[in-house]
Structure 1
Amino acid sequence: MYSLVFYVPETHLDEVKNAVFSAGAGSIGDYEQCCWQVKGEGQFRPNLNAAPFIGNAGEIEKVAEYRVEMVLHTALKTSVRDALLAAHPYEEVAYHFIQTEC
């Protein structure tokens, strides 16, 4: 199993979660669409080659984002990653998988 952790702007929270849930993430036993989420503030500065969804190239941007965590079975890793990247509005998506035991 894996734990998926990703960061998403508040405006796209439900859309992105629903995409990864539809790909099979967030299931634990008889429960579906399980996750942990916490609101925080993300910071980034797009370089001059970037085409940012939020902010301007060369300027520091701070935005309300959620950190979302959920588990998934190993066999779903590729399809969940693809769903995350397709639904997420950012040009560069901040995410990581952590191998875990449940």
Structure 2
Amino acid sequence: MNITTVKVEVLLPEMFIENIRNQLNAIGILTVGNYDHVISYTETKGYWRPLDKAIPYDGEKNEISFGSECKLEFKCEYSKIQETLKTIKEIHPYEEPIINIIPLLDI
């Protein structure tokens, strides 16, 4: 199977979506046909516990935390995934960002 397009999912606080969207669009990642800035996001909830060596964005070490965040989703050419990841990680506030890359079938 030859992967040419992927779906990228990123969990992050809502206040960072606009900046990431603008930076990804500036490098040509979020263009679909005759449209740009093409993303979607949903609000979600999650749990996490920062361990001893963590530098948490939110929560206290060794305490289970619960909170809301957003899942940002967009299509990306696989050939641009490294540039995409670099851009996201430069802006993302989490020490260990959750970024899922899902191959899409070309049909």
User: Would the TM-score normalized by the shorter structure come out above 0.5?
Assistant: yes
**Which residues in structure 2 correspond to 1:1-102 (within 5 Å)?**
1-100=5-104, 101=106
Alpha-carbon distance, 1:12 to partner: 1.7
- Classify the secondary structure of the residue corresponding to 1:16: helix
Asked if the contact 1:24/1:80 (under 8 Å) is kept, the reply is no
Q: Which runs of 4+ in 1 moved over 3 A?
A: none
User: Where does the alignment leave 5 or more consecutive residues of structure 1 unmatched?
Assistant: none
Q: Distance in 2 between matches of 1:95 and 1:5?
A: 6
Cα deviation digits, residues 38-93 of structure 1 (max 9, x gap) = 11112211111100011111111222211111001122111001001111000000
TM-score (norm 1): 0.90
Shift of 1:20: 2.5
Instruction: Give the number of aligned pairs.
Output: 102
Change (3 A) 1:13 1:48: same
Counterparts in 2 of 1:17 and 1:43: CA distance versus 1, 3 Å: farther
In terms of Rg, which structure is larger?
Answer: 2
Q: Which amino acid is 2:12 matched to?
A: V
Whole-angstrom CA distance in 2 between matches of 1:24 and 1:58: 40
TM-score by length of 2: 0.86
